[in-house]
Amino acid sequence: MRFLLLALPFALLPGFALGAEHHDHDHAQHNSLATHEHGAAELDAALDGSTLEIELRSPAMNLVGFEHTPGNEAERRKITNAHDQLEIPDPLLGLPAAAGCTLTTTELESALFEDHADAHPDDHESGHSEIHAHYQFDCATPQALTEINLQGWFKAFPGTEKIQAQLIGPNGQRGAQLSQGQPRAEF
């Protein structure tokens, strides 16, 4: 399933182009095709049988308001709060209750999460930090999983202006650009 999520951007790339402003500071990202753009994030979701995998990638700026190593207690608290919110994704992802999805795996990666073994220290060397979140759910009624509603994400992380979503489900592949005004992506 993890391979499916990694292949998802390649599968949808030919039919889906971003029409967005880009900052001049392009650089390679870990498992990401897009440039580092403040205010923008990416979501890949794949439903295979009863297993739902979701991967979110965002510049740290969108979630904590900065990308540098925390220099004071207030910045450390912002990182801790973002980490704590990301560890409990249900309010952020808005999965339909009827689908009965239970979180089975959470993986969070960022150079800002110093205690995390999978952090990417080279993010700091580039001057940009990203936060990656990977979730796996087991859904009791996967046919009831018709959408993901990221209204909770936009409310929790107001620095996120748009999320480029790519989904694979029983009805095929779909892409959508989500925002606070349009937070839903359908499977």
pLDDT for 14 beyond 50: no
Residue 71 lies in a domain: yes
SS3 call for 156: helix
Query: What pLDDT does residue 23 have?
Result: 34
The neighbour count for residue 119, using CB atoms within 10 Å, is 18
Structure tokens given for 163: 């999320």
Residue 15 lies in a domain: no
Share of the chain above pLDDT 70, in %: 74
Residue 62 lies in a domain: yes
Q: How far apart are CA 144 and CA 58, in angstroms?
A: 28
SS3 call for 133: strand
Give the residue with greater pLDDT, 144 vs 71: 144
Please, which pLDDT band fits residue 128 given cuts at 50, 70 and 90? confident
Would you say 22 and 39 are in contact if contact means Cβ atoms under 8 Å apart?
Answer: no
pTM score of the predicted model:
0.77
Report which residue type is found at 168.
I
List for the chain the helix, strand, coil content (%; round to 5).
Answer: 30, 35, 40
Please, which pLDDT band fits residue 127 given cuts at 50, 70 and 90? low
**Range of weakest confidence among 6-10, 78-82, 153-157:** 6-10
Please, which pLDDT band fits residue 116 given cuts at 50, 70 and 90? very low
Domain total of the chain: 1
pLDDT for 105 beyond 70: yes
**Boundaries of domain holding 102:** 2-8+40-186
Beta strand pairing status for 40-48 and 162-169?
parallel
Residue 79 lies in a domain: yes
Query: What pLDDT does residue 89 have?
Result: 97
Give the residue with greater pLDDT, 183 vs 26: 183
Q: The tokens 């009965």 sit on which residue?
A: 100
Q: How far apart are CA 172 and CA 164, in angstroms?
A: 17
Residue 24 lies in a domain: no
Residue 98 lies in a domain: yes
**Range of weakest confidence among 2-11, 83-92, 125-134, 140-149:** 2-11
Residue 72 lies in a domain: yes
Q: How far apart are CA 154 and CA 151, in angstroms?
A: 5
Query: What pLDDT does residue 180 have?
Result: 96
Please, which pLDDT band fits residue 46 given cuts at 50, 70 and 90? very high
pLDDT for 25 beyond 50: no
pLDDT for 12 beyond 50: no
Rounded to an integer, the average pLDDT of 10-33 is 37
Residue 20 lies in a domain: no
